[in-house]
Each structure stands twice: as C-alpha cells, then as structure tokens.
Amino acid sequence: MKNKILIILLVICFFFLRLYKIEERVNFSMDQGIFLLRSWEIWQNKEITLIGPTASPLVHGHQFFQGPLIYYSMIMVMLVSGWNIIRASYLLVLLNFVALVFLYLSTKKIFNKKVAKIASCLFIFLPTSINFSNFLWNPNFLLILMPIFIFLGSKAFFSKKYWYLIWGILGGICLQFHFQVVLILFFTFLFLILKKIEFKKFLLFVGGAIIGYSPLLIFDLRNNFYNVRTMLEWLRFGGDEKMAFPLYYFLSFVPFLCMGLAWLIGKIKNKMIIVLLLSGLVLYSFYIKINQKEALGMPNGWNYVWQQKVVDKILEKGCPKNFNIASTISGDTRSYDLRFLMTAKSCRPMNVEEYPKAEKLFLVAPIDRPPETEKVWEVSSLRKFKINQKTEINSNVFFYELEREI
C-alpha cells in the first residue's frame, strides 16, 4: 500500500512540475514559430520533404540540415492537439511520462529495481528534464526518444538479432532530431565492438541506423553530398562564429546521466543518505519551479498569455487585409511566434519578404522603443506611417497598429 501511495505521489509531482502555470511559462518563441509554420505548410500542401530545419553552425555561409522527422513529428503532435500550443504541451508531457516508464524498465533490466527507482526519481526531478519536457523543439524530442533507445538496446543485448535492426533504426531517427546523437551512436558502436558482439548483429545495428537516417542520405545523394561536405568543412575549419555548447546540446545524455547517478547512489549502503539526497533534489526542483518568473528562453515580459492577447487585438474586427507583423522585443523581428499563431487562426500575414508592400503593420515593442524612432527594416520599410492604435500589453510591452501613409 505504501508503495502505491508513493508511486501516485511521484506521478503527481511529475505532472505538476511540468504543467504548473504552463500558459505563462511555456517556451513559444522564434524556433517554434519557424518550425511550426513550415510544418503547417507541409501538412497543407501534402508535401514530402527529405530535409528538416537547418542546424545552428554556419560554415562559409552554409548550414547543414537536420532531419525531416522534426517536421513530421510536430505535425503529428499538432494534429492531435488541434494546432493548439498548450494542448501540444500537455501531449508532450504525457509522452515524457511514457519515456519515464521506458527508462524505469531499461534500468531495471540493466541493473536492478533499486537503481531503476532512483533513476526514475532523478528523471522526474532534474530541472533540465523538467524544463525541456513541455514545449515543441527538436532537441526536446530526444528526452522522449532516448529512453526508448536505451530500452531497445537492452532488448537487443539480451534478446534476438532482429532487435539490433530496430535499435539501429531508432538511433538513425534520433540523429535526425539533433547532431548531438552522433556522440551517442559513437559510444554505442564502441560498446558493441568492445563487447565483441557478433558481426551480423553489428551490421544489423549499422544497417538500421542507415535506414533511420536515410532521408538525409537520399538528399545528399541527390545534391552532390551537400550535407556531408558542409559537416566536413565545419569539422576542418570550424564555424563562421564562435561555437557555443548550450545545455540543450546534451539533452540526449540526460537519461544516461540519470542511470549513471542512480547506479552510484544505489551503492550507498545507508538508506537515510539516499533519502536525504533525493529529498534535497525534490525540494530544489519545487523551489525552482514555484519561483520561476519568466517563460524559459523568452524575453522579459513576453509569454504565451501576452502572445494570445496580441492575436486577439489583431483579430478584434476580423482578419485584416494586406498586413504584416513585427516585433522588437527580441531578435525575432519578424515575429515568427505571432506569425504562426495568426496562421493557425486562418489569418496569415504577408510573407517576411513583403514588408514594403504591407498597408498595415502590427508591432510589438518595448516601452522604450516607440515606432517613430525604430530603424529595423520591418518597421522602416513602411516609410511614412500613422499610429492607429497603441495598447499597453503589460508593463514592459506595447502593441501598435501602424498604417502606411501614401
């Protein structure tokens, strides 16, 4: 009975930490807007694409592509959620819970039940696991996929040959979502070699990885190995800008970290020390979540609640004609977040190249950057304009309706 009560409490904690004040704290910014707009186009046009979004590093002005499954995964999530960002967040959290189950089963099979319980607690309460589990972004999918990858690895290692093929396919699929998975696959190859796995099993894994990554391989074969050449140039010369390695570059390692730490903690013989360590993590995660002021990765005073308020202001009198959207509260001056939200409401702005053709411009700006002094092209392309409307969205942000004067 005590175990059942504890499991229920852990499940409640899992969902609470990820869904508490979700509308105010969900990250919905430029990358999400860009990816979802492209996903929307693919769905509406019934396209088949072999490439996904470009990766961040620039090499001599070129970028290499990530996999198309990023778009197709977003399409599936958004279709289920009715193209609603908050409902999509709920679905992603649910998928992360499924990943938690796979992590528990894998750790139990590889180690034991005690280590599995500790690993599950770490996955539930680690701030990184919490923060990247409730919004649409390609690295975040790895929190869902990697525990399944580990589970398939445990099945392959202790089961029949064909599991190696399935395991490899998922490895290739994971690589489509972010290039950080190259390291995971490298260590997996090394593990299989050191364990002297039967050569046929090794080939099945490698063949599976090729199948999972095949859309980009087909793209390269059809485009003079564009991706491969760009990656090799990046490895040889480095990028055009100084390379940073933010936390999300290591999300695929989080499940492995949970397992490794759980194994170490499990070796502590004094149960009270284990309880104190986990209790400290629980208290810390709740403290961080409850005291969180801003949405992760978004400008001060800007979140999904305010985004919806702006969309409602634009649509007050129905869908405007010949209009565009801009924002100066962040580097996303073309306001891809609002651009998608408007598109999902069947009121699409003019394209990002068409600012000079717009008759109206809806602008979101900080209180200290009035449009009369603005120099960014998205606003200055209007040339002479009048302000039809100025509304305070919150203490940091104003909303403007600008109209071109001829």
pLDDT tens, position by position, 81-133: 999 999 999 999 999 999 999 999 999 999 999 999 999 999 999 999 999 99
Supply angle C-alpha 394, 396, 400, rounded to 5: 75
pLDDT of residue 60: 80
Backbone angles phi and psi of 355, in degrees to 5: -55, -40
Do 57 and 360 form a contact (C-beta atoms < 8 A)? Answer: no
Give Cβ neighbours of residue 221 (< 8 Å, ≥ 6 apart).
none
393: DSSP letter? -
- Tokens 């202790």 correspond to 158
Tens digit of each residue's pLDDT (9 = 90 or more) over 198-221: 999 999 999 999 999 999 999 999
The encoded tokens of residue 19 equal 């869904």
Give the count of beta carbons closer than 10 Å to the beta carbon of residue 10: 16
pLDDT of residue 112: 96
pLDDT of residue 240: 73
User: Of 338 and 294, which is predicted with more confidence?
Assistant: 338
- 56 — pLDDT class (breaks 50, 70, 90): confident
- Tokens 């208290």 correspond to 283
For the chain, what is the mean pLDDT? Answer: 95
pLDDT at 406 over 80: no
Supply angle C-alpha 85, 24, 295, rounded to 5: 95
3 state SS of 404:
strand
pLDDT at 61 over 90: no
The alpha carbons of the chain give a radius of gyration, in whole angstroms, of 24
Give buried/exposed letters for 178-192 (b at 16+ CB in 10 A, else e): bbbbeebbeebeeeb
- Tokens 């306001």 correspond to 335
pLDDT of residue 3: 86
pLDDT of residue 157: 86
Span of 23-32, 151-160, 311-320 with lowest mean pLDDT: 151-160
- 237 — pLDDT class (breaks 50, 70, 90): confident
- Helical spans, DSSP H, in 111-140: 113-125, 127-131
Do 132 and 248 form a contact (C-beta atoms < 8 A)? Answer: yes
Tens digit of each residue's pLDDT (9 = 90 or more) over 294-336: 898 898 889 999 999 999 999 999 999 999 999 999 999 999 9
pLDDT of residue 239: 75
Distance CA 274, CA 280 (A): 10
- Tokens 């580990």 correspond to 150
Count the helices and strands in the chain (H runs, E runs).
18, 4
- Name the packing angle between helices 141-158 and 162-177 (round to 10°): 160
pLDDT at 254 over 90: yes
Distance CA 217, CA 223 (A): 10
Distance CA 59, CA 238 (A): 7
pLDDT at 57 over 90: no
- 155 — pLDDT class (breaks 50, 70, 90): very high
pLDDT of residue 278: 97
pTM of the model: 0.95
pLDDT at 59 over 90: no
- pLDDT > 70 fraction of the chain, expressed in percent and rounded: 100
pLDDT of residue 164: 96
Read out DSSP for 301-348? T--HHHHHHHHHHHTBTBS-SSEEEEE-SSS-TT-HHHHHHHHHTT-P
